[in-house]
Amino acid sequence: MADTFRVALSGDFKKPDGSPTFPDFDLAPLQAAPGVEFAFLEAANPLRAEQLADFDALILLQPRFARESIHPNGRLSVVARFGVGYDNVDVPACTDAGIPLVITPDGVRRPVAVSIITLMLALTGKLFIKDRLTRGGPETFNKRAEHMGIGLVGRTLGSIGIGNIGAELFRLARPFDMKFIAHDPFADQAVAAELGIELVGLEEVFRRSDVLCVNCPLAPETRHLVNAERLALMKPSAYVINTARGPIVDQKALTQALTERRIAGAGLDVLEQEPPEPDDPILKLDNVILAPHALCWTDQCFAGNGAADVKAVLDVKHGRVPRGVVNRAVLDQPRFKARLEQYRGRFGA
C-alpha cells in the first residue's frame, strides 16, 4: 500500500512456538509508529527475493542476505543488521542495489568492551582454574599456591583496532593503571591521544602486549591476521582475547601455541567454526576460556541493538539518512536519494 511502510524481521527473531527469541528487543515503537506494518519472515538461508518483494526495510539477525535476496522491484530501501558484524550480508550487492546496510555500534559498544574486561580479569586472575581447585576438594584446594594470578598495574594492554569497541575498552580499563598500546592503520589520532594510547606497528603490538585483544572487523586483509608467526612474537606470559570474529585468528596456530604453552592463555567468544566440532582440540585445553559468541548478550545489549535498528528503519521511513551505514557510497547514489525524497513526501520528515 502506498501509505504503508512495511518492515520485515528475519524469522529467527521468533521461536518455533511464536514467542520472541529476545524479549528485550522492544517492538513497541514499530507498533506505535503511524503508517508502519511489520511481519516476521519464514526461515530461509539465504533470504529469498520473493519474501522481501513487498517490504521497505529489513531487520536482520542471522540469515544471509545475498545478491539473490534482492528483489528487482527496488522497494527494499534499508537492511538493518542486529549487531555490528555483517559477514552474513553481501555488501557489494547492497551497494549495487542502492540499499544501505546499517549496523548498531551504539548497542554493542559497552557490552562487548565489558566482555573483554571480563575475559581479561578471568584469565589473569586464574578464575576458572581456581574454581576447579575449589570443587576438587582438599587435594586440589591445597594446590592454590601453584596458580598465582597476574596483577594488572603496569602491564600492557594491547588492541588490534581502536574503533568503536576498542576505544571503549581502553576507557573502561583506565582504573587498572595499565599501559595502553594499539595497532590501527585507520586510528583517530585525537581519540588515541585522549585515551593515552601509544600507536604501534602490528608486530610490536604482539611483542609488547601482556593482554592482546582483537577489535577489528573481519575482512580479507584481516583473515588469519593473528597467525603462527605473530603468535611466536608474544611473551610466554601473555594472553590473547578475541570477541570480534573467529577467522581473524588462525585457530589451528593458536591451539598449537596454547598446547605448547608458548603463550599463557586465551579468551575466545568467537571461533573459526561455530558451533565447533565436538572433537575440536581447543575444547580440551585448560588454558583457554570459551564462550558461544554470546558473552555480550545481555538485556541491555539487545535492547540497545533493537532500539538502534528500529530508529534506523524509521529514519528511512521519514526520508532521513540512518546512523551506522556501512556502505556509505550508497548515500550519494541518485536512486537512494530519490527513495528518501519519496518517503519524505509520503510520511513527512
Percentage of residues of the chain with pLDDT beyond 70: 99
- Give me the mean pLDDT over the 327-340 stretch: 96
The reported pLDDT for the residue numbered 348 is 86
The reported pLDDT for the residue numbered 88 is 94
CATH at residue 278: 3.40.50.720
Q: Among 286, 307, 328, give the residue marking a domain's end.
A: 286
* 3-state DSSP assignment of residue 249: strand
The reported pLDDT for the residue numbered 2 is 59
Q: Are 63 and 201 part of one and the same domain? A: no
Main-chain dihedrals φ then ψ at residue 103, nearest 5 degrees: -120, 180
The reported pLDDT for the residue numbered 138 is 94
pLDDT tens column, 237-279:
999 999 999 999 999 999 999 999 999 999 999 999 999 999 9
Cis ω for the linkage preceding 236 (within 30 of 0) = no
In a domain, 291, yes or no: no
**59: how many CB neighbours lie within 10 A of its CB?**
26
In a domain, 292, yes or no: no
Q: Are 96 and 120 part of one and the same domain? A: no
pLDDT tens column, 184-202:
999 999 999 999 999 999 9
The reported pLDDT for the residue numbered 1 is 44
- Give me the mean pLDDT over the 309-333 stretch: 96
Domains in the chain: how many in total? 2
The H-assigned helical ranges of the chain are 28-32, 91-96, 105-124, 127-135, 138-141, 164-173, 189-195, 202-208, 228-231, 251-259, 299-317, 334-347
For residue 340, pLDDT over 80 is answered with: yes
3-state helix, strand, coil in the chain (%, to 5): 40, 15, 45
pLDDT, the chain, mean: 96
pLDDT tens column, 48-88:
999 999 999 999 999 999 999 999 999 999 999 999 889 89
- Give me the mean pLDDT over the 316-344 stretch: 96
In a domain, 293, yes or no: no
Q: Are 115 and 200 part of one and the same domain? A: yes
Q: Are 212 and 251 part of one and the same domain? A: yes
The reported pLDDT for the residue numbered 3 is 83
Active site residues: 245, 274, 293
pLDDT tens column, 119-171:
999 999 999 999 999 999 999 999 999 999 999 999 999 999 999 999 999 99
pLDDT tens column, 276-291:
999 999 999 999 999 9
Range of the domain at 254: 109-286
Q: Among 235, 259, 286, give the residue marking a domain's end.
A: 286
CA angle in degrees (0–180, nearest 5) for 157-123-178? 25
101 forms beta bridges with: 79
Would you place residue 213 in the very low, low, confident or very high pLDDT band (cuts 50, 70, 90)?
A: very high
Q: Are 189 and 319 part of one and the same domain? A: no
Helix 105-124 vs helix 299-317: crossing angle, to nearest 10: 160
The reported pLDDT for the residue numbered 52 is 97
